[in-house]
Structures are given as structure tokens and as C-alpha cells.
Amino acid sequence: GESVGLHLPTLSVQEGDNSIINCAYSNSASDYFIWYKQESGKGPQFIIDIRSNMDKRQGQRVTVLLNKTVKHLSLQIAATQPGDSAVYFCAENIVRGNYQLIWGAGTKLIIKP
């Protein structure tokens, strides 16, 4: 069925390096994708989004890439900092007439000092 999934459940990165978190989606009709960050004990926070008419979008230290050909989404975090430690979720909007977001399982990002 339709789903959004993450390739790696846990990602360990050296502080200062770049992080890349991947996400696969299965519905080619999806037109809106969002990345969220969830720190321990908190609700998910919006990081960045991208619509299907784009293939790249940049924010502050973050970049989201969308490859519609292979139905793949990635979040790149530049110069990873200890504060980036969190679980990252991708979400996909499937327009079924009711605008429901479909969530991936999450990737835990661990920063090594």
C-alpha cells in the first residue's frame, strides 16, 4: 500500500560533518513533503518542506532534495551540531480529497563528539 519509509533507523555522524537522512515514498501522486525534527520529550517541529514542482529547497543549514523519478526524499544537514540530535521524520501529503499526511517511521540522528 501507500507508505513513506526511511532507509536507516539510526544514523551516527561526527560533529561538524554533514548528515544525510533518506526517505522513500511510494505514491507518485504525492505533491507535498515535509521534514520534522523531534527532540526527546517534545512534539515534532517543522524543519523544511518541498512541493513536487521543485527538486531542491534550502533552509538554514538544511537542504531537502526530491527525486521524483525514484520517489526519494533526503534531508541534508550541514555542519552537524550536538543540538541536531533528534529523530527526524519525513511526511508525505497524499491528496485523497482530505489532505492526510502519511508519516515515515523516523530516523534517529546521533552526533558523536
Phi then psi for residue 83, to 5 deg, are -70, -10
Q: Closer to another protein at the Cβ: 78 or 103?
A: 103
- 106 is written with which cell numbers? 523516523
Q: What's the min distance (Å) between Cβ of 46 and another protein?
A: 5
Phi then psi for residue 82, to 5 deg, are -55, -35
Yes or no: say if 16 and 80 are a contact pair by the CB < 8 Å rule.
yes
Q: What's the min distance (Å) between Cβ of 104 and another protein?
A: 7
- The footprint of another protein (CB under 8 A) covers 31-32, 34, 36, 42-46, 49, 89, 91, 93, 95, 98-101, 103-106
